[in-house]
C-alpha cells in the first residue's frame, strides 16, 4: 500500500490527501488537549468513538438539509470528507451558561440563557482564539456578509436539531463549537459545515443527574472520560457496532463510581 501524504496535524485529528481530487481523509486521534493545548493527555478509544458520533450527527444533519463535508466513514478512525477552505472562525452556540462565559460575565454555571447566543472566535492558537465581533470579521475579510448570514442560519438550525436529538436520549445540550468551510465551483463558493461534532466540542450534561458527558471531564480532572464518551455513543445507539476492539467498550452504569457528579440542572 502506498504511503499517504499528510496534509496537516491538529490537536485531535490528522488530515491526509484523499483518494480523489477534492477529498481528504480525516483521522481521529486519542489525544486530548485543553486550554489551547496548555493541558495535554490521552483518552483511550476517543478517536474511535468520536469518529462514529460525528458520522452519526453529520448524517442526520444532512437529512434535514444541512450541507456538510462528510462523505463516508472509512474505518474505525477515519472518514472521507470534502476538501474545503476553512473559514478561520470558531462558531460557539450557547444555550446554557458554562465555561468561559460564566467566568467572563459572572453567570452561574448551569443558568439557562434568555435565548440562544452565538459567539465568534478567531481560529488562532498563538492568540488563544480571541473572541471577535461580526464587525471584526467584516473588517478583516475573514468571511463575507452573505457567508455570515449562512453561517448563523445554519448554526441556529443545527442547534435546534441537536437540542431535540440529545433531549430524546436524556442529554442536555449546553453549548457546542462549529467550524465551516468554503467549497468552490469555478468563481462561486458556498459555505458548508466542516470539522466534527462530538463530545470534544460539545458540552453534554445528563438531564437527571447533571453529570458531564464531554471533554470537561478531562479539562477539570473529573476522571471517567472514556466512560462518558462511550455513554453518549451508547445512548445514540451506535456503541454496539462502533467497531471497537476488546476492552474498548465500557458501560457507564458499571463505572458510575468513577464519575463525579456535576451541578444539577436548575428547575
Give tens-digit pLDDT for 7-45: 999 999 999 999 999 999 999 999 998 887 778 999 999
Q: What is the pLDDT of residues 207-249, one digit of tens each?
A: 999 999 999 999 999 999 999 999 999 999 998 643 444 333 3
Asked whether residue 194 is assigned to any structural domain, the reply reads: yes
pTM of the model: 0.88
- Tell me the average pLDDT across 147-163: 98
Task: Give bridge partners of residue 173 from the DSSP assignment.
Answer: 204
How far, in Å, are 33, 34, 35, 109, 223 from residue 219 at the CA level?
A: 8, 6, 8, 15, 10
Asked whether residue 23 is assigned to any structural domain, the reply reads: no
Task: Give bridge partners of residue 85 from the DSSP assignment.
Answer: 182
Asked whether residue 264 is assigned to any structural domain, the reply reads: no
Asked whether residue 27 is assigned to any structural domain, the reply reads: no
Asked whether residue 156 is assigned to any structural domain, the reply reads: yes
- Residue 136 gets which letter from DSSP? H
Asked whether residue 169 is assigned to any structural domain, the reply reads: yes
* CATH value at residue 174: 3.30.470.20
Average pLDDT for the chain: 90
Residue 144 lies in domain: 86-205
pLDDT at position 4 is 86
How far, in Å, are 53, 57, 73, 242, 264 from residue 237 at the CA level?
A: 10, 12, 17, 10, 25
pLDDT at position 262 is 42
pLDDT at position 258 is 46
Asked whether residue 126 is assigned to any structural domain, the reply reads: yes
CB 196: neighbour CB atoms within 10 A? 26
Asked whether residue 6 is assigned to any structural domain, the reply reads: no
- Tell me the average pLDDT across 110-121: 98
Report the C-alpha gap between 74 and 70 in whole angstroms.
11
pLDDT at position 113 is 98
For the record, the C-alpha cell of 116 comes out as 440562544
pLDDT at position 107 is 97
What is the count of structural domains for the chain?
1
Going by pLDDT thresholds of 50, 70 and 90, the confidence category of residue 185 is confident
- Helical H segments across the chain, by residue range: 46-63, 100-105, 134-140, 145-167, 216-219, 225-236
Report the C-alpha gap between 194 and 175 in whole angstroms.
17
Amino acid at each position: 500500500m502506498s504511503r499517504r501524504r499528510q496534509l496537516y496535524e491538529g490537536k485531535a485529528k490528522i488530515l491526509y490527501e484523499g483518494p480523489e481530487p477534492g477529498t481528504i481523509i480525516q483521522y481521529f486521534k486519542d489525544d486530548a488537549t485543553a486550554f489551547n493545548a496548555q493541558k495535554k493527555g490521552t483518552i483511550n478509544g476517543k478517536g474511535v468513538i468520536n469518529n462514529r458520533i460525528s458520522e452519526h450527527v453529520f448524517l442526520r444533519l444532512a437529512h434535514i438539509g444541512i450541507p456538510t463535508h462528510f462523505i463516508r466513514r472509512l474505518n474505525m478512525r477515519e472518514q472521507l470528507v470534502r476538501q474545503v477552505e476553512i473559514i478561520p472562525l470558531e462558531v460557539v452556540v450557547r444555550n446554557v451558561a458554562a465555561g468561559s462565559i460564566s467566568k467572563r460575565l459572572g453567570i452561574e454555571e448551569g443558568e439557562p440563557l434568555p435565548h440562544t447566543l452565538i459567539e465568534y472566535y478567531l481560529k488562532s492558537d498563538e492568540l488563544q482564539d480571541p473572541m471577535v465581533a461580526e464587525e471584526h470579521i467584516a473588517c478583516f475579510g475573514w468571511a463575507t456578509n452573505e457567508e455570515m448570514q449562512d453561517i448563523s442560519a445554519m448554526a441556529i438550525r443545527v442547534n435546534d436539531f441537536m437540542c431535540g436529538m440529545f433531549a430524546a436520549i436524556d442529554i442536555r445540550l449546553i453549548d457546542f463549537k462549529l467550524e465551516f468551510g468554503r467549497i468552490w465551483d469555478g468563481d462561486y463558493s458556498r459555505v458548508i459545515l466542516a470539522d466534527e461534532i462530538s463530545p470534544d466540542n460539545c458540552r453534554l450534561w445528563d438531564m437527571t443527574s447533571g453529570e458531564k458527558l464531554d471533554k470537561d471531564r478531562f479539562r477539570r480532572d473529573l476522571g471517567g472520560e472514556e466512560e462518558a464518551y462511550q455513554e453518549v455513543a451508547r445512548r445514540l445507539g451506535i456503541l454496539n457496532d462502533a467497531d471497537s476492539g476488546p476492552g474498548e467498550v465500557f458501560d457507564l452504569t458499571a463505572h458510575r463510581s468513577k464519575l463525579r457528579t456535576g451541578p444539577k440542572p436548575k428547575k
